[in-house]
Structures are given as C-alpha cells and as structure tokens.
A and B are shown apart, each in its own frame.
Chain A
Amino acid sequence: MTANQPSPNHLQLTRDGQLRHFLTLDGLGRELLTDILDTADSFIEVGERSIKKVPLLRGRTVVNLFFESSTRTRSTFELAAKRLSADVLNLDINTSATSKGESLSDTLLNLEAMASDMFVVRHSQSGAPHFIAESVTPGVAIINAGDGRHAHPTQAMLDMLTIRQHKGRFEGLKVAIVGDVLHSRVARSQIRALNELGAAEVRVIAPGTLLPRDVEDLGCIVEYDMSRGMKDLDVVIMLRLQKERMEGALLPSEREFYRLYGLSQDKLALARPDCIVMHPGPINRGVEIESAVADGPQSVILNQVTNGIAIRMAVMSMAMGGQMAERQQKQIDSEETRG
C-alpha cells in the first residue's frame, strides 16, 4: 500500500503511526489494538479512585454529535470525556427533516466555529464519520460512535477488553456472535478485532435471512444451527434484534427466533463451562436471551458497560494526543522552513 492511496489508515493515523481519528478497526494492526486495550486498563484504575478524573483533555471541547439516538453509547462517551476533564456538548440531531448531506456540512461549519477539538459521531449512514474526518479542519479528531451497518469500533474494543479481562488472552479462543448480524455494525467490527488479535475461531450463528451476503469474507465460519454452534465456545456474544431496522419478513416471529437462536440456559450448557456471555445492550429479554442467563454467573454484560467508559477514554485521549503531536510537528516543520 502506498502513502498516496486513500486507505483508512491514511486518514486515521499520523505519520508516526499514532491514532488521530478513530473511524474503523480496518487497517489497525495488533500492536495498536493492544495499545488501546493496555491504555484502557490504566483508565479502569482511574475509575476506581476517589477523584475519577485526569487532566489530559483539560480545556478541550468534545462534541457528541448524535444523528441517531443512543442513550448508553452517548452517556458513556460523555462520562469518558468528562473524566478526561474535557468540556462536553451533547447534540442530538434528527436527520429525517432535511437533506442529510447538506445539513451535515452546515452543522459541521457551525460547530467548528465554536472551536471544538473532537467530534464523537453517530450516524445512520455508513461512512458519515469518514466523510466528516475528510472535510473537518486539521487538528480536530473524529471518533466513530457507530455508522450505519458499517462499524462500531469502540463497542468492539470494549468487548475485546472484556474478553481479555476474563480470559487473559485471545490465542486459542473460540468465539461466536449470535443473532442479527445483517443489521449489526458491531458484529463487523468484532469479527475484525477478534481476527487481528489472534482468536482461534470466530463463528456467526444466525438464520440465513439475518446474515449479510459473503459474510465468510469477513473472516468467520457460518453456523445455522445454534446447538452445533455452541460447542466448545469460550465466549458467546449475543446481538440485539434490531427491530427498528427490520424491513419485510426477515423473521417468522420473535417467539420462533427465541426458540432457534435465543440463548437459554440449556443452550449455554453446550458451551465450555467457563464460557462468558456478552451482549452490547439494550437487552431484549426473552427474545435474544433468557433472563436467568443475562443475570447469571457467566454473564459479563455489566462489565462491558464499565469497560466502555475506559475504552472511550483511551481512544479519545490517544486520538487527541495524536492530533496535538501532529500540530506540534507541523509548527516545527514550518519554523524550519522559514529558518
């Protein structure tokens, strides 16, 4: 790959390979992903102190730009920014009214005029954070908080942090992602991260109607039968049934779905006895997962929420640090040119 090619890394990384935007896990190697997890580990410790704040982003302004609502993701990003001592502005923007491209550009111009340093972007259209990263003023960091069906990289990384906490490694692990893979941006990012970090096997378990075409190309094995798919699992990740994104008859009925693909205690018993259960939330109890499993000893669902704050602190501080180091470098370069 040459430097001139518009790869995701060209946009995401500085010349020295530091993060400056966080848009997708594509193109980020194992070393950088591990750095993110290690940095997040240190932020977990900050969350246990009497004063849960560090001064890294003091004086910086972070704008949560949510074109699609999400309580949990937005609130953990907000808390993460505040624990980094940043000032936070939350904007929930309904896109249904106006032409999206136009409103996006206008919104951005206005926000840039407020001297923002970072945009955390959630958008229903795939690629919106990329578009913003390409057009935004240099020095402003863009963090993808979920775009269309494309990617949700902070969610995938908080899941990786949770897996590492409980399993201590990725090598040799068998991990399954179960449910609505078709509409899931999380699943794509998870498959990518698991493969890069060295998991032994990534399975997707779903009915054919809820799988994207050529899903195997993402680097996973497809299993239509859940009982077979649960065998020897170390980690099972349940996906939320995205009812609001369903068009047409992709499902016979919720009850039928639960019977075939819901995680019940019986099905969990087919996995390894120390298999952990994950779910990005919000949970549809009795649709994807039995309550006794969601609240059971193998569930790490609430750990995921806590880890979400630490992962977001890590990514935000690393991207802002990359932007500032780059600004500094440009200043040195221009002084040298003048001198």
Chain B
Amino acid sequence: MTALFDINQLLDELEKGLRLMLTERGIEDPALIGIRTGGVWLADVIGKRLGIAEPFGELDISFYRDDFSRIGLNPKVKPSSLPFDTEGRDIILIDDVIMSGRTIRAAMNEIFDYGRPASIILATLIDLGARELPIQPDVVGSSLALEAHQRIKLRGPEPLHIELQESGQ
C-alpha cells in the first residue's frame, strides 16, 4: 500500500506521461492550469519539472459547479487567475484526484469562457475510477480503487503528500 503513496513516484509517472504526450502531439509551448487547491500545487511542481517558465493559471470552479442548485454557493470561492491568453493555446489541465469527472467538466466550461484553446491535455495525480461522465484523463500518476469508507486527499504545498482517511476513525 505504501508504494502507492510515494508522491515522488507518482510525480515521476505524471512527468513521464506528459513528456511523452507533448512529444507525440508535437506541442512545444504548453500552458499549465491547475484546479484549486491540489491541482494548483501540482501545476507548480510539474511546471518546474517540465521546465515551463510561463506562470501557470489557477482555476476556482465554484461558479461552474453543477451542484449549485443542491448545496448553494461555496462561501470560500477565490478568484480564478489565468495570466495568459487561452485562445489558441495547448493547455495542460492538472488536478489531484479524478472521480466523477464533474470537476473537469466545470473546469473545461470555465476555460472556454476565457477563449478557445487549441487543445487540452488532462493530467491527474490519482484516478479513483467511479466516473459519472465520459471524461478520462490523458495522463495519470496512479489508478486505484478505494473502499467505501476510505477517502484520499492531497495535502500541501510543503511538503506535498497524500493522506488516506478512514471514516469512522
């Protein structure tokens, strides 16, 4: 079990997969966007590993969530910030965990409100399966299946580590 939670190993996988994909697609100047909060920490790390000097974007998807009509507005919403023009850019979108796929749908809707990117590559550190929408990551650090009582969370930014929470404890 511990091997799965070696953060550096997962980051290595993510970096390797992204390099391969960028080469395959002939993308030389990708722009990074992280989804708050975990995805932003990862964008910082991956950006450095890939040698991307351009500042990365930060997305807060609160205004695009599809459960607004059930739970209302997230009171801790922060402004999104995209320090580059997305129009025509090749984007690497990063998040810590993918499950239902709803966060990614919201994030893509938001990105398109800034402009029309040339392409989006989706990278997630951990894929938990349990998808509810036809959205799949292009690059993952690791895939795993959790028990019903387990939750996983990326903690950071210093040090970046993965926490497995057992409910009822």
How many A residues touch the partner, as a band? Answer: 20 to 34
Confirm or deny: A42 has a beta carbon within 8 angstroms of a beta carbon on chain B: yes
* Complex contact B79–A41 (CB within 8 A): yes
Q: How far is the CB of B106 from chain A (nearest CB, A)?
A: 9
A135 and B64 CA atoms in complex are apart in Å by 32
When distances are taken between beta carbons in the complex, the residues of chain B under 8 Å from A56 are 63, 68, 73
Confirm or deny: B71 has a beta carbon within 8 angstroms of a beta carbon on chain A: yes
CB-based nearest A residue for B73 = A321
Question: Which of A38, A51, A322, A325 is close to B77, meaning CB atoms less than 8 Å apart?
Answer: A38
Question: Which of B64, B73, B76, B87 is close to A318, meaning CB atoms less than 8 Å apart?
Answer: B73
A54 and B80 CA atoms in complex are apart in Å by 12
A42-B62, A54-B63, A55-B63 as given contacts; A324 in contact with B77, CB under 8 Å: no
A55-B64, A318-B73, A321-B73 as given contacts; A42 in contact with B115, CB under 8 Å: no
Confirm or deny: A50 has a beta carbon within 8 angstroms of a beta carbon on chain B: yes
A57 and B71 CA atoms in complex are apart in Å by 14
Q: How far is the CB of B63 from chain A (nearest CB, A)?
A: 4
Main SS class of interface, A: helix
Question: Which of B69, B73, B113 is close to A39, meaning CB atoms less than 8 Å apart?
Answer: B73
Question: Which residues of B (108-156) have their CB < 8 Å from a CB of A?
Answer: 109, 112-115
Confirm or deny: A44 has a beta carbon within 8 angstroms of a beta carbon on chain B: yes
Confirm or deny: A317 has a beta carbon within 8 angstroms of a beta carbon on chain B: yes
A56 and B71 CA atoms in complex are apart in Å by 12
When distances are taken between beta carbons in the complex, the residues of chain A under 8 Å from B68 are 56, 321, 324
Q: How far is the CB of B132 from chain A (nearest CB, A)?
A: 19
Confirm or deny: B25 has a beta carbon within 8 angstroms of a beta carbon on chain A: no
Q: Mark A30-63, 1 if CB is under 8 A from B, else 0.
A: 0000010011011011100111011110000000
* Complex contact B113–A44 (CB within 8 A): no
Question: Which of B62, B69, B112 is close to A324, meaning CB atoms less than 8 Å apart?
Answer: B69
Confirm or deny: B51 has a beta carbon within 8 angstroms of a beta carbon on chain A: no
A18 and B72 CA atoms in complex are apart in Å by 9
Q: How far is the CB of B79 from chain A (nearest CB, A)?
A: 4
A56-B73, A324-B70, A324-B72 as given contacts; A50 in contact with B60, CB under 8 Å: no
Which B positions have Cβ atoms within 8 angstroms of A? Answer: 60, 62-64, 68-73, 75-81, 87, 109, 112-115
- Pairs A–B under 8 Å by Cβ, sample size 10: A18-B72, A18-B75, A42-B63, A49-B113, A50-B87, A54-B64, A321-B71, A325-B70, A325-B72, A328-B70
